[in-house]
Amino acid sequence: MNRRRQIISLTLLIVVVASGLIANLVAGNTPALGLDLQGGASVTLQPDGEFDQAGLDVAVEIIRARVDSIGVAEPEIILQGSTVIVNLPGVKDQQQALDIIGRTGELLLRPVLQTGILNENPDTTVPTNSTTVPEQTSDSVEDGAGMVSGGPGASKIISSATTVPDPATSSTQVATTDTSVAVSTDTTQDATPTLGLGEDPNDPTQTVLLLDKQGVAYVVGPAGASGKVFKNDARADVETGQWAVVVGLRSGPDGDQLWNKLAAACFNRTAECPTGQLAMVLDGVVISAPTVNEPEFTGGTVQITGSFTAEEARELAKILEFGAVPVRFGVSQAQTVSATLGADSMRAALISGLVGILLVVLLLLAYYRWMAVFVLAGMSVSIAFLWSLVSLLSRTNGLALSLSGIAGIIVSIGIAVDSYIVFFERIKDEIRLGKTLKNSALRSFESAWRTIVAADTVSFIAAIVLWYLTVGSVRGFAFFLGISALTDILVTYFFTRNAVLLFARSKRAQGRKVLGIQTVKPEVM
């Protein structure tokens, strides 16, 4: 009974892994290699007009964050002179690279004329609540001084949020973002023809339709100001129990005077800003559209409150900081870039990797005799599984295998082999006590399993933490460490356990020399 389950589970695993491998081979998915091993696309961004070093440094950070948010590959971002060079691994299409990187990067403050929810299908006319404030926009702007007196705007926002459709339900009927140009040509209920929507969402002089990340649509007027009205001291903070972003205003005609003019227009709901909301727009995406709650900001600071998570508040603060020292990038150019390590290094790494594996196999054969066959088979299953997974993720998530990833894999070879060693050493202990192979194998697995899970969990924790909290090559390493640890657990439980236990109870194995030790032949089977 038990035996049948083991056979089924073993066959199932092999079938799953094999079909995964075959599917990937048929689809032609192969692991993409990183910048150091295979090269990729290189985008050169030339700053336009005025800029300073601090602005460039912040721009590099913003670009890094933007690129890192796309996938798991390890981009390389450097400043060469005053140009920013972004190298993307695994990207073969130069146009694709330009699409990822090539945006203007200027933060604009634009009054909101109308808000609403885009209907995915313009034919079925679903009435949209064009005047109510969707929850995403329930941020409010307050004077730093006003904040002390209790923040009248916050309560107003909370009450309006209750009348608003839940974004989770409304998002189902919302068109996807990032296609602002295409969307603005769609018929939308919000965009009354009289508004004369502009074609280019990045044009600061026209009235255009923009979306935010949740898909809420905004019709925004010409930009009243840029992020330069702010000081670059934006920070996220907990104010009266919720996350808020506080940013200072520069003084002078380009600073608080410009801001106050815009704020007054919105506070008074003039024709220029009928909704009272002021949208902060970066690269054609509405980052935040708070309602202005003060006609004049005398305190020198602006506070943006709303139902932020800590993450959202930090993100907004970072964008405001960037907006304060903007660098406008002009012509960008995409090229294909060759590998830094070169083909010879790649070949050397591959050959030495294979030699290394061969040496390990010889060592195991010498030490564990033909039980090493299980290690070989198990490693083949692991490698097939990893290869399929990496190929698939290369295709879907832009994963690229760099030297750091290879380091992760080298460690994983050691860790995978170690699981067998822990198991076999246990079996040896038991056999030495004169037990039958069958009983030794069963009990050894239980204790070895405990050890393997404990040790792999440590690796896995390392992988998870590094993955979530880091960027770049550390992240690449963490990724491979994590999937290796997971593969080890899977293969140990579903392959090694079943295969060795089945072997141990087979009639043929009894009384033989196993692991170089004579086992006892049981009299009763």
Partner 1 sequence: MKKLMAGFGRIYRGETTFNFIGKRVIGFTVSLVIVLAGALSLLVQGLELGIDFRGGVAWELPAGSITDQDAREVLEANNIETSNAKIQFLTSSESRVMRVQVGDQPEDIRLATQKSFAELAKVEVQEVSVASVSSSWGRSITEKAIRALLVFFVIVSLYISWRLEWKMAITALVAMVHDVLLSVGVYSLFGFEVTPATVVAFLTILGYSLYDTVVVFDRVQENSQKFATSRQSFANVANVSTNEVLARSLNTTLSSALPVVSLLVVGSMVLGAKNLEEFAVALLVGMLAGTYSSIFVAVPLLDLLKRNEVKYKPFRGQLATGAAMVELMGLSAITKQTRGTVTSGDESDQSVQDTVSKVAQRATSVLTHPPRPRKKRR
Least distance in angstroms from the C-beta of 168 to partner 1: 30
Q: Does 513 bind partner 1 (CB under 8 A)?
A: no
Least distance in angstroms from the C-beta of 333 to partner 1: 7
Task: Tell me if 108 sits within 8 A of 283, measured CB to CB.
Answer: no
Q: How many Cα atoms sit within 13 Å of 136 on the Cβ side?
A: 21
* Other Cβ atoms closer than 10 A to 516: 13
Q: Does 510 bind partner 1 (CB under 8 A)?
A: no
Task: Return the residues of window 273-302 that contact partner 1 according to CB under 8 A.
Answer: none
If the CB atoms of residues 127 and 468 are measured against partner 1, the closer one turns out to be: 468
Binding partner 1 by CB under 8 A: which of 37, 77, 245, 258?
77
Q: Does 524 bind partner 1 (CB under 8 A)?
A: yes
Give the Cα separation of 512 and 506 in Å (integer): 11
Least distance in angstroms from the C-beta of 335 to partner 1: 4
Q: Does 520 bind partner 1 (CB under 8 A)?
A: yes
Task: Return the residues of window 302-361 that contact partner 1 according to CB under 8 A.
Answer: 333-342, 344-345, 347-349, 351-353, 355-357, 359-360
Task: Return the residues of window 11-40 that contact partner 1 according to CB under 8 A.
Answer: 36, 39
Task: Tell me if 486 sits within 8 A of 79, measured CB to CB.
Answer: no
SS3 322: helix
Task: Tell me if 417 sits within 8 A of 375, measured CB to CB.
Answer: yes
Task: Return the residues of window 51-70 that contact partner 1 according to CB under 8 A.
Answer: 60-61, 64
Least distance in angstroms from the C-beta of 350 to partner 1: 9
If the CB atoms of residues 16 and 455 are measured against partner 1, the closer one turns out to be: 455
> Residue 456: in which H helix or E strand, if any?
helix 437-469
Going by C-alpha positions, the residue among 58, 57, 53 that lies closest to residue 282 is 58
Least distance in angstroms from the C-beta of 171 to partner 1: 30
What is each CA distance from 290 to 153, 249, 309, 452, 464, in whole angstroms?
A: 10, 16, 15, 52, 35
Q: Among all chains, which residue has been given the structure tokens 């170089």?
A: 516
Least distance in angstroms from the C-beta of 344 to partner 1: 6
Least distance in angstroms from the C-beta of 20 to partner 1: 25
Task: Tell me if 318 sits within 8 A of 310, measured CB to CB.
Answer: no
If the CB atoms of residues 63 and 220 are measured against partner 1, the closer one turns out to be: 63
Task: Tell me if 87 sits within 8 A of 41, measured CB to CB.
Answer: yes
Q: How far from chain centre, in Å, is Cα 479?
A: 11
Residues 174-211: b if buried by 16+ CB within 10 A, e if exposed: bbebeebeebbeeebbbbeeeeebbeebbebebbbbbb
Least distance in angstroms from the C-beta of 340 to partner 1: 5
Binding partner 1 by CB under 8 A: which of 9, 94, 132, 171?
94
Task: Return the residues of window 421-480 that contact partner 1 according to CB under 8 A.
Answer: 421-422, 425, 428-429, 432-436, 439, 442-443, 447, 450-451, 454-455, 457-459, 461-462, 465-466, 468-474, 476-477
Task: Return the residues of window 367-426 that contact partner 1 according to CB under 8 A.
Answer: 367, 403-404, 407-408, 410-411, 413-415, 417-418, 421-422, 425
